Each structure stands twice: as C-alpha cells, then as structure tokens.
Amino acid sequence: MKEKLEEIRQKALAKIAESDTPDKLNEVRVAILGKKGELTEVLKSMKDVSPEDRPKVGQLVNETRADIEKILEETRNKLESAALDLRLATETIDVTLPGDVPTPGHRHPNQIALDEIERVFIGMGYEVVEGPEIEKDYYNFEALNIPADHPAKDEQDTFYINGEMLLRTQTSGCQIHEMEKGRLPIRMIAPGRVFRADEVDATHSPSFHQVEGLVVDKHVTFADLKGTLEEFARQMFGAETKVKFRPHHFPFTEPSAEMDVSCFKCGGKGCRFCKNEGWIEILGCGMVHPHVLEMCKIDPKEYTGFAFGVGLERIALLKYEIDDMRLLYENDYRFLKQF
Amino acid sequence: MNTPLSWIKDYVPDLDVTDQEYRDGMTLSGTKVENFARRDKNLEKIIVGEVLEVEKHPDAEHLVVCQVNTGSDTIQIVTGAPNVHKGDKVPVVLAGGKVAGSAHDDGPAPEEGYAIKEGKLRGIDSFGMMCSIDELGSDVNFYPEADPEGIYIFPADAPVGADAVELLGLHDTVVEYEVTSNRVDCFSILGIAREAAVTFGKEFKPPVIRETGNSEDVNDFVSVEVKDTDLCTRYTARVVKNIRIEPSPKWMQLRLGAAGIRPINNIVDITNFVMLEYGQPMHAYDYDKIAGRKIIVRRAADGDKFVTLDGQERNLDKDVLMICDGEKEIGIAGVMGGENTMITDDVKTMLFEAATFNGTNIRKSSRRVGLRTDASGIFEKGLDPRNASEAMNRACQLVEELGAGEVVGGMIDIKVPFKDLVRIPFEPDRINDLLGTSYSPEEMIEVFEKEDLSFDKDKNEVVIPSFRQDLLALCDLAEEVARFKGYDNIPTTLPGGNAMGGIGLKLRMEDTARQVAEMCGFSQAYVYSFESPKVFDKLKLPEDAPERNAIRISNPLGEDFSVMRTISLNGMLSSLSTNYNRRNPEVKLYELGNIYVPESLPLTDYPDERMQLTFGFYGKGDFFTMKGAVEEFFNAVGMKKKREYDPKAGKSFLHPGRQALVKYEGKVLGYLGEVHPSVCNAYDIKTRVYVAVIDMPSVIEFVSYDHKYEGIAKFPAVTRDISMLVPADVLVGQIEAVFAQRGGKILEEVKLFDIYEGEQVAKGFKSVAYSLTFRAKDKTLEENEITAAMKKILNGLQSLGIELRS
C-alpha cells in the first residue's frame, strides 16, 4: 500500500511538473484527487485493509493528499504569478500620451470676479441684494443728492427712456431701495449692470457692472470703512496688498475717498501695468451723506453708514490682465476657455 | 487744470518740496495730481553763449563756422542756422549735454532726448550746438519772440555763461490736477496754492491788491443795467483808456506759456492771467464800439442770431443770457464776446467785465449754442460772486503795472445782495464719532483756521468763507479734518455687531444654473441689454408678437442699441455667429440676463425685469443634448416631478418639427429647439443651432433645495421588456404618460432602449421598445402583481393604437 501511494505521489509530481498552465494543473488535480481520482480510488479500497491497519493507512493517504495539494497550490501560484508578469509586461503604455480631460464649460471672468467679491463680503456678514436696471430718476440721482441741475448728471451721460425713467448709471440707487425698506441695521452688497452713453472701445462699454456696498448702523465710522475695504483688498489681491485712501468727491458721501491698492504685479515699485505709479485705483467710497439718510427717513444723529462702489469689469480686467474690454462682451470661445 | 509749480510758489514762497513730495502731498490732501512734467527734462549743459565770429564753411554752402564765447572758454560750433550773427547771445549746449527736441523732426520727442557730442561737420570740428526753441522742448507759440526757423536769440543784456534754461524759465514743473466738481475755488492758481499751503504747513500769501484808477469816475463813461438778475447775480465793470497794445512782459508770457496758454498781447494776457489766477473769467470790450455807453444784461429772444468773435454765427433762444449795449447784443454772457465789440490792435478805450452768471444756465446755453470755451467751462461750475470784484481790481492793477493803459477810477458793481456766510455748529465729538478718531477740538480748529475758515468762539460755530461753496454741514467739516490730518492717520477697524450674510433663493437658483450649465459644457456669455429693433424681424417674430412692444431709449448710441431686449435670443445667436465666423469648431454658451417687459408703453413705472437662462450651441449634439442640459437644471433645483415637453410651441424662429415648450405642473417655464434655418441664415451661421430659454421667475416657485434621502431598495426588482408597434404620430411622451398613469406605485423606472422606423416596420408605424422595472418598497413582488400591472399598461397602450410586437 505504501508503495502504491508513493507511486501515485511520484506520478502526480511528474504530471505537475509537466503542467505549464493552471488548466493543465487542474486536470492533474482531478486525475489524482478528484471523485474518481487515483488517490480517491485508494481510499475507496480501504475496506480491504485490515481494521487495525486502517488508521495508519488512512494517515498515510491523508499525508500523501496534503503533500500533493501543497505542491499543486505552490505550482499554481507560480504559474499564475508568471502569467501575471507576462500580462503586465505586454500592457505597458505610453504615459506621456494626453489625458482624457472632461470638457465642462467656463465661467465668464466678470462672474469669477463677482464670485470672489461676494465670497469676501458674505464672509463679513453682508447680504447680496439686487435693484432694478431700468430705474427712476429719483433713485439714480435725486435721492443720492444729485438734484436736477447738478453737473454730475451730465458727467454720467445717462441713457433716458423718458423724463422719469432711465437706465441706471450706477448701482448706488440700490442703497436707497435698501434704506427705504426701513430695516436697520444694513450690511449689503448689490452687484448689477449699469449703463452709460460711452462709445465702445478698449476701455469703455455702454454697459458694464458695479458692485455697490452699504453699511448703516449705530456708531459706524470712517475707520470702519477703511478697515472693511482694506480687508476686502487683501482677500481679493493678496495678503501683501497695501491700500491708500485719497480724498475725493461724490455727492452722496461725505467724507469721500478713492481707494488705491498697491500694484499686484510689481508690489508697488512701479511697472508698466500700473503706469509706473505703484498704485492702482480700485473703488470709490465714503460715509453716507446725512442728507441721503434723511431722505430715507433715517436719523443721521442716531445712525451713520458707509458706502462703496466697485467697477466689476475694472477688477476683472486688472486681475486677469485683459487688455481690451470688448473681449468681455464678444464671447469668443478662445477667450472664454481661458477662465 | 495745468499749472506751473513756480506760479504756486509765488503765493507759497516757503514751499520747499520735491516734485514727488508735492504730488504725493497734494494727492493725499485731496487735490489729486494726475501728472507732472519737468519742463527742463533732457536739457543739460546749456548756457548763454555769445557769437564772436561767423565764417562760411569752406566745403558746405549752407553751413557756417562760429566761434562762441561760453563765459569760460571760446569754442567752435558749426551750424546750419540762417539767423546767427556776430554779437548774438544764444543758448549753447556743450558737448556731453542734451536737448529735448529736434528742429528737423516733428514727431514726438524721444524719451531720452538727444545727446550732443563733439564731432565734425563736413570736416570741420564742432564742440557743441546752438539751440532753437523747439530743441529746448518748447515752441514758438509760447515764446513768440523766437525765430521759428532759427536759433533762439536772447536779449543783448543776457549774461554770457549763465544758465540758459533758467533764463527761459524752464526750470519748472507743470502739474496737472484732477479737481473735483465741488471745489470751484480750486479751478484757480490761488485756490490750489491755498491747498498747498495748508497741506505743507506753509504760509499762504495771495497778491496784495492796492487801489487803482485815476480821478475820473467810471459812471461818467458807462451805465450797467441787469434785467435778469436770476441769471446774473453780479456784474462789475471798469474802464481803461489810452491803451497801448504791446506784448506782455516776459514773466507774464512765461507764466501763461507754462499753463498752456499762448501769449497774445498785454490786454488779452492780463485777462487770461487773472482768469487762471483767480478762477474768474473776464472780458474786454472795445468801449468805442459800445452804443449808447450802456450795458444791458438780458435774455436773448428765440430765433436771434449773433456772430461771436471767432466769426461764427450762433443761434440763440430765450434762455441764453446776452450782454447788450444800447442798440445790440455784444456778447453771449459767460461764453464768448461778439465780433462787433472785440478789441483790436488800435483799441483806445476798453470796458473790462467781471461778472457772476448762473452756472447751470451757462452750462445749458453753451451746449445749445454749440460753443464751449475756457470761460464757460469755469462759469458753469457756479462762481463765488465775491470773487468778481477782486479779480477786476487785480486786472486793473496789472494794467497799471504793465503800463498798458490808464485805469478810470471807480467800479460799477450791480449785484443781488450776497448770501450770508454759512455757519456750521462746531461739534467735535460728532466729528470724531464719524471718523473713528480722537482729535482734540483745538487740533480741528487749527486745521480750519489754516484754510481760512474762521471759528466763532462765542457762538461755537465755524464760519465758512464764500469761496468754499462745498462746506455746508458737519460732515463737510469732518472731511476737512480728515484730509488735512491725513486719511492715512485714521485707524482701521471693522464695524461692530453681528450680521448674517448670504444670498436669497433667486441668486442661489442662478448659481445652480451656472454650475449645471458649465457641467454640461456650456461657457458663460455676457451680452448687452439693448439691441436693434431689427432683431424682431431677424427672429421672424410675427407683426403682432408681444415681444415687439419693447422699451425704447430716447438717446441711444445708435439704432443698433436702441431698444431694451424683450427676448434673449439675439445676444446668444450673435455670440454664436461671432464664434462660427471665427471658425471655432463647436461652441456651447449660456447666458443669465434680464429681459425688460413693459406693463404698458410709454413707460411710466418699473417694467418687469425677467431673468432668462439662455443656452445655445452649434457643433456636436442635437435637440436632445439641449434637452439633457435643461433637464439637469430642473433636477438640480429640486424639481422632481416629470417635466412635459409640448411640441406645439409655436415659435416662429425655431424649426417647426424640432421645438417644444417646457412645462411643469401645467405651467410654461420656457422653450427649446433647433433654430429655424432662415434665422440661422440671418445670423450668418451655416450649421444647425440649438437653443433653450428658461424664464427664471416662472421657475422659482417650484424650486426647492429641501432634499430627503429615500432609502436604498431592499427587495428585488423585476424587469419586463416590451417591444411595440406604434403609429408614427404617437409621441414617446404619450406612451410614458400611459406607463405613469397605469403602472401603479410598483413601477419604479421606465427606460426607452430602442426606437426604429424603417424597412422592418410597416409604413406609418415605428418600433419602440421599453424596459420597465417593478419593485415594491416593503416586499418581494409576486408574479401575479406584475402581470396585473402589465395588463393595465397594455390596455392603455391599445387605446393609442399600439400593438405589441411578437
């Protein structure tokens, strides 16, 4: 019996050694260890073995089986590993070929700039509101301290629908609409489209966008205005940005200022981008004129406020170094896809 | 406003700052310096030389060889200038020096100027160059004594070896300011000088005006009557006789030239000088041409015509204020005098006028008359009437100083009483509260007094001088404190209190639209809100289409920008056309912008501004590409019910067989489709274009960001595929409606997997195949439940004339 088992074992080892694929290996396993396999046949003939020898023979058979299984397993691992190596070796690709890039659309640079501005001010607790683009004379001028004969009315080259209705020349009217709601305090920005009778060229467009800002509360100061806009400038143009406030004049704010930021290209040393000035004019601002508050039925002795207006296209042109404003309204895909 | 810095220093003699310091200081105190230019830029090593000898060049007909005394040396210079003679004093640039311009080149001067070196001209050594006025960076307009064709010749008493640039007054800086419209006083040298004095803490010394005039009385020469005192609040007049017209002195010519005004003669120069100095325009009439020795200030009549001193005939109307004599009109007030009384070189006696006119009226008159002058530009700002007499007396003083004539004693002064000076209660705490500062009252008063505001201690009021028309209230005083203490010195803080920031539903929905559009491959476009009325025809809109009722701009840039859009497609199609014609192979755009729908016309109240989400593309894709994007938007804003697509959209600008209205719960939200080929043609696009327009105000009522998790199905699904023979005119939407109505709760999903029309299908029919998925949430479905549902569905399909294919 022992000889018989050894014979089976040798035969199995020889067949395993001949097998060069997992399939052939499996044939060997079935032929030896399967239901009708040679070793199984041996087990079946156990009934012929004397009862006292059975445990010993059984143990021998099991040892032989375990031995063969172990070698089968080792060989299969070896074969599979070799097959995998072979596959991997044939699957080498040229990793320098271009990637499959998804083609989503692109956001307009105006919108990107606006998203940034909104992000900054929402973070500081501002609500984003809107006002009408076709506006009444009162909201665009009169309520902003620009009475009928004021030269500023000419300066802004207004498109009129008729004597009463016009295309707003500034988003500042949104200040009035917001204050008239009678809910205080106010902390808002109002982005929107404005219109001025300028012919189209590289730096002018008859339609462009502003973002208006307004804060009205008790104890709001010019220092708060400075702090707020300085924070805005840093978030928009980088932490290193310096700001400069210059006195200016707007009919609806007093004191008024224009804010310059240090040139984000040269850092203030002076370059072609900032016309060698080191500074770039960004926005106009000031403390809400008490007369404007009064017209909105807000008591200027109790409440003060500040307001500012940013030209959106100006920010977009500066930030993305776009040299011609017309590009913003042509919608040429070769332009848009860069954003 | 351009002023030479040297002129400012006349009134602020202690001003000792560099150009850059001046610029920075003035800008930060509120008088913004736009630009400054050194007048001696690129003028180096230029001295006064005396020509000792002039000899012909041996080898060149047009050149001469000069020996020139430079004070320390005698050098040889070869020149082609025709006007050099022995004994002339001339500007000489020595070898190694520089000049700013060229006598031969009319183009812009090079940034670095022209370097002058030793050299040979036709074989003869030359050690420098004699200069023309152009080479010195100026021109004959401002140096009328210069020979336009040759070398500049100094007066005989010019010291040899002296700095020639200095003698020509060119060691100076011309400063250009941006003066804001509220600071009328700063449209004058004196106004800016006062600002400079306060800015740099120096003393302001305005000219001292002494009494002028002989013993005669101006009232014996002329009388003045102002009829329209609403338009002329002050009229002052003086008379000058025995006038000698001649060039004004060099110092005055230099001042005017540096300010960009060409010297003419002593009288004209004086009026211009005073206009710059005081910001008060003046006019000089030839007294002998004034009929009736009488001046009347009154409105013109409609239809009047008048010839101004530039020889042009002007049309007048009843709102134009005129200066008249006893018989006729002699000047348009504040704009320009008349040809009939203009002074000429043989004028004997003249009438000087300095008046204050209504600024708004001058602004409007000058526009209607079509004539804007230096004078009208200043008058329209609304001048201080107190300034008129000072300017008048300053001018007469200059007449006497220049010996230009004999000033008659006295001044005619017709005026409405001056307004009281503005007094503002002094509340230092409120100023500090507004600024966020802690300046002491004394510090504030010091600022006020430096700029000639006075403090009335008894009444605790700040008294505003009449030239500061911009100071009316406490906030104005706060600005004075802030700007002279320095905006830089105000602290930076953030507003206190808590506030909730954020955006509302409308803006959030628009934000979602942008995200979805971009995810679907559409890029964002920005287009104009106004367009041509021809757009309606271009879009083939019927004559009675409501879109044709558009709001018109009364003063548009042109017909192409004259109506406010009532439909958003034109901007999209124009942008696609631009791309198509620039050969961009495939382009997908979206746009978010308003259309403007008037309640009625003419417009009396706010129109309905309706935000439109517009998609458009050409290139890869079809109707269903567009539909997919639209569907994705509705999914993203939480509109979970089925959207209906009604092919009877009735849009004339779309392909009749490829258009649909989008409806939700029966409400129309927009439309989509393929653009009609003839519309494509009108936009010069020679390929298929697909568009979709979503009316956002209609969408917003259905929008919800409140989304709940539904649970992943626990029980198995059963799928049944059905293949149908469908009459060709039955829409897939109708079939799906049957599924939805009859499938019951257990019908989880329907999926179209095949649609076919062709040879294997009978004519008039199409083959449509769906996969239906059934599932219950709470159990495994029994076979008979599915069979029952399918039976109901099949019955419904039969009513549409649909048969199952075997």
| Rounded to 5°, angle at Cα B559 from B553 and B564 | 40
Mean local confidence (pLDDT), A82-95: 90
The predicted structure's pLDDT at residue B806: 66
In chain B, residues with a C-beta closer than 8 Å to the C-beta of A195 are 529-530
Residue in the block written with tokens 């008979």: B784
The CA distance from B266 to B405, in Å, is: 10
Backbone φ and ψ for B729, nearest 5 degrees, come out as -85, 0
Handedness of CA B446, B452, B458, B461 (dihedral sign): negative
Q: Alpha carbon B728 to chain centroid distance? A: 62
In chain A, residues with a C-beta closer than 8 Å to the C-beta of B359 are 151
- Chain segment A222-246, per-residue pLDDT in tens: 999 999 999 999 999 999 999 999 9
Q: Is any Cβ of chain B less than 8 angstroms from the Cβ of A124?
A: yes
- Chain segment B543-599, per-residue pLDDT in tens: 999 999 999 999 999 999 999 999 999 999 999 999 999 999 999 999 999 999 999
The CA distance from B274 to B25, in Å, is: 26
Instruction: Using DSSP bridges, classify how beta strands A243-250 and A207-217 pair: parallel, antiparallel or unpaired.
Output: unpaired
Q: Exposed, middle or buried by CB within 10 Å (0-12, 13-18, 19+), for B257? A: buried
Q: What is the SS3 string spanning B578-608?
A: HHHHCCCCCEEEEEEEEEEECCCCCCCCCCE
8 A C-beta contact, residue B568 and residue B595 = yes
| DSSP per position, B430-475 | HHHHHHT----HHHHHHHHHHTT-EEETTTTEEEPPTT-TT--SHH
Which of A159, A193, A194, A293 is most worth mutating to test chain B (most B CB atoms within 10 A of its CB)?
A159
Q: Alpha carbon B217 to chain centroid distance? A: 50
Region for B422 from its dihedrals, namely left if φ exceeds 0, alpha if ψ lies in -120 to 50, beta otherwise: beta
The predicted structure's pLDDT at residue A122: 96
8 A C-beta contact, residue A307 and residue A288 = yes
Q: What is the SS3 string spanning B354-367?
A: EEEECHHHHHHHHH
In chain A, residues with a C-beta closer than 8 Å to the C-beta of B473 are 254, 290-291
Nearest alpha carbon to residue A73 among A29, A119, A133, A10: A29
In percent, how much of chain B has pLDDT > 90?
84
In percent, how much of chain B has pLDDT > 70?
99
8 A C-beta contact, residue B91 and residue B48 = yes
Q: Is B791 helix (H, G, I), strand (E, B) or coil?
A: helix
Instruction: Using DSSP bridges, classify how beta strands B563-564 and B89-99 pair: parallel, antiparallel or unpaired.
Output: unpaired
Q: Alpha carbon B466 to chain centroid distance? A: 30
- Chain segment B607-659, per-residue pLDDT in tens: 999 999 999 999 999 999 999 999 999 999 999 898 999 999 999 999 999 99
Nearest CA in chain A to B432: A221
CB atoms within 10 A of CB B407: 24
Mean local confidence (pLDDT), A214-227: 97
- Chain segment B188-218, per-residue pLDDT in tens: 999 999 999 999 999 999 999 999 999 999 9
DSSP tag of B300: P
Q: Is A178 helix (H, G, I), strand (E, B) or coil?
A: helix
Q: Is any Cβ of chain B less than 8 angstroms from the Cβ of A206?
A: yes
Predicted confidence (pLDDT) at residue B105 exceeds the cutoff of 70: no
In chain B, residues with a C-beta closer than 8 Å to the C-beta of A106 are 518, 523-524
Handedness of CA A290, A296, A301, A303 (dihedral sign): negative
The predicted structure's pLDDT at residue A64: 85
8 A C-beta contact, residue B245 and residue B399 = no
Largest CA distance in chain B: 130
From residue B501, how far is each of A130, A188, A189, B492 by CA, in Å?
14, 8, 10, 22
The predicted structure's pLDDT at residue B28: 95
Instruction: Please give the domain boundaries of chain B with CATH numbers for all domains.
Output: 2-39+173-200 (3.30.56.10), 44-167 (2.40.50.140), 218-415 (3.50.40.10), 423-488 (3.30.56.10), 505-702 (3.30.930.10), 718-804 (3.30.70.380)
Please, what is the average pLDDT of chain B? 94
Higher per-residue confidence, B475 vs A29: B475
Residue in the block written with tokens 């954003």: A339
| Listed ranges A149-153, A161-165, B689-693; the one with the highest mean pLDDT | B689-693
Q: Alpha carbon B62 to chain centroid distance? A: 52
B338: closest CA of chain A, how far (Å): 27
Nearest alpha carbon to residue B752 among B729, B732, B738, B775: B732
Structure tokens at B521: 């491959």
Nearest alpha carbon to residue A169 among A189, A201, A129, A139: A139
In chain B, residues with a C-beta closer than 8 Å to the C-beta of A187 are 495, 499, 501
* Distance between start and end Cα atoms, chain A: 84
Instruction: Using DSSP bridges, classify how beta strands A127-128 and A186-195 pair: parallel, antiparallel or unpaired.
Output: parallel
Banded model confidence at residue A62, pLDDT cuts 50, 70, 90: confident
Q: Is any Cβ of chain B less than 8 angstroms from the Cβ of A136?
A: yes
8 A C-beta contact, residue B19 and residue B36 = yes
The predicted structure's pLDDT at residue B106: 67
Q: What is the SS3 string spanning B672-736?
A: EEEECHHHHHHCCCCCCEEEEEEEHHHHHHHCCCCCCCCCCCCCCCEEEEEEEEEECCCCHHHHH
Predicted confidence (pLDDT) at residue B246 exceeds the cutoff of 90: yes
From residue B236, how far is each of B45, B386, B411 by CA, in Å?
50, 11, 7
- Chain segment B704-717, per-residue pLDDT in tens: 999 888 888 889 99
In chain B, residues with a C-beta closer than 8 Å to the C-beta of A124 are 494, 501
A114: closest CA of chain B, how far (Å): 12
The CA distance from B174 to B684, in Å, is: 54
Banded model confidence at residue A61, pLDDT cuts 50, 70, 90: confident
In chain B, residues with a C-beta closer than 8 Å to the C-beta of A133 are 529, 594, 596, 609
Predicted confidence (pLDDT) at residue B519 exceeds the cutoff of 70: yes
Q: Is B115 helix (H, G, I), strand (E, B) or coil?
A: strand
Banded model confidence at residue A154, pLDDT cuts 50, 70, 90: low
The CA distance from B300 to B292, in Å, is: 19
| Rounded to 5°, angle at Cα B756 from B755 and B760 | 145
8 A C-beta contact, residue A217 and residue B531 = no
Q: Alpha carbon B265 to chain centroid distance? A: 37
**Candidate from A125, A248, A291 with C-beta closest to B498:** A125
The CA distance from B514 to B345, in Å, is: 73
CB atoms within 10 A of CB B599: 10
The predicted structure's pLDDT at residue A21: 85
CATH topology of domain A109-336: BirA Bifunctional Protein; domain 2 (3.30.930)
Q: Is any Cβ of chain A less than 8 angstroms from the Cβ of B29?
A: yes
8 A C-beta contact, residue B234 and residue B355 = yes
8 A C-beta contact, residue B84 and residue B151 = yes
The predicted structure's pLDDT at residue A155: 62
B359: closest CA of chain A, how far (Å): 9
Q: What is the SS3 string spanning B307-343?
A: EECCCCEEECCCCCEEEECCCCEEEECCCEEEHHHCC
Predicted confidence (pLDDT) at residue A126 exceeds the cutoff of 90: yes
- Chain segment A256-306, per-residue pLDDT in tens: 999 999 988 888 888 888 888 889 999 999 999 999 999 999 999 999 999
Interface A–B counts its CB contacts (< 8 A) at: 244
